[in-house]
A = this chain, B = another copy of it.
């Protein structure tokens, strides 16, 4: 609302202010990753067939529950499923047949067309952390997240070169009533950034508000013909599809907006404790969920999700960056490709309370496997802390820098004449030095990935500057980014209509805090 008010004042200031807005400095954003490297495949064809056969058995024999959703049960009945109470038994092959209408790849449009992303194929789109009720930074410690925090994260996301997507609930703004939060959040994504974003899923009516606000931003007709939001629909694993999530998904599918249909699994609690068992359940759940999505609207864009962690069997705490999570992520990628669906998994996962070494080990394990497993949409790609309870300002910046590593890894190895570098080897010869040779001079600017925040200084200089660790450097970087932030230009008429929509909606409801 503060931003919207500022914008209205800008408009009141007349044409000069408007022109200033339109010409505001645009921050560089890398294009989404187009992989030029293979995927890592941990399962062979025989293993994939076993998993698929078992998943079909789960759907047919055990079935899945669609809870408090008579319309969904009716849709399933019509499609040929055996519905017993809320339990839907899906005959072998039916879900596989129904998902055939789902596109293998789709464009999610951003209001700045240069920031639109293609989700699917060999691409990887990176989006920030989603969902934490707390934030943490070095200055204020750990505390409940507010709308002011939310806006800072959206600004940081806009400023982050390697982040293609503004995300959704980058943190839960707990100072805004729960029934009005989605309006302020969407408003922030739409006005403080020009990258693509996610819609609300916490009530079907809030999904509808998201569609309506997108209509104001993009034009109503554009939204009906194009995908402008990708939203997160979690499955209540094991094998339960609740009415709130399905209701939101119905709204999005009917409006041609994308959904990530995602099992949410802590291994050993919501799925079998073994990897192949978990993959079987993931495949069954995804088949049922995406088939239902296509029953709502054949051809609606959809992503196969897999949010899977392991569990510490001592404490029951979810664990991250583990080898079992890696196996599942690699395997689920193979399942997604088998089904011809875009794939969402991995992220900056960690159980650590601080953006320390544990956080970085676990995050790096997950980011690397995310790239190699063929993920197309990586939610939580930066900023996640403490098992998803906390959005960390410092870790957001640290992780976002590491996302550059993924971009360069994905490029693969150039084998052209310049890449082969034989002239350089000839020029330098045994015992020589390459720094000064022509080939090095011609290539050094682009040859190596360059961090924007890690420390490579000589020890003495580093010691003189106060022996700063990564968290401290990230804290400085984060503040610098927020200082340099400039709001992207937006048509003042659109800005005003969005602000008015939010104000009216909020005025029409009493506050609710749970």
Contact = CB atoms under 8 A, between A and B. Distances in A.
Given A363-B361, A469-B357, A448 B319 contact: yes
Given A323-B408, A405-B323, A415-B47, A425 B359 contact: no
A459 B405 contact: no
A70 interface: no
A238 B437 CA distance: 13
A434 B270 CA distance: 6
A409 B426 CA distance: 42
Contact of A276 (B276, B331, B421): B421
A449 interface: yes
| Interface bracket on A | 35 or more
A126 interface: no
Contact of A457 (B311, B315, B433): B315
A368 interface: yes
A470 B356 contact: yes
Interface stretch (A3-11, A34-42, A182-190, A199-207): A34-42
B38 A41 contact: yes
Contacts of A474: 357
Given A273-B434, A434-B238, A470 B352 contact: yes
Contacts of A428: 238
Contacts of A431: 65, 236, 238-240
Contacts of A267: 447-448
Contacts of A54: 420, 422
Contacts of A47: 413, 415
Interface string A225-267: 0000000000010111000000000000000000000000001
Interface string A62-75: 11110000000000
Contacts of A360: 356-361, 364
Nearest to A134: B459
A239 to B, nearest CB: 4
Contacts of A449: 310, 322-324
Contacts of A239: 429-431
A350 to B, nearest CB: 9
Interface stretch (A12-20, A155-163, A294-302, A438-446): A438-446
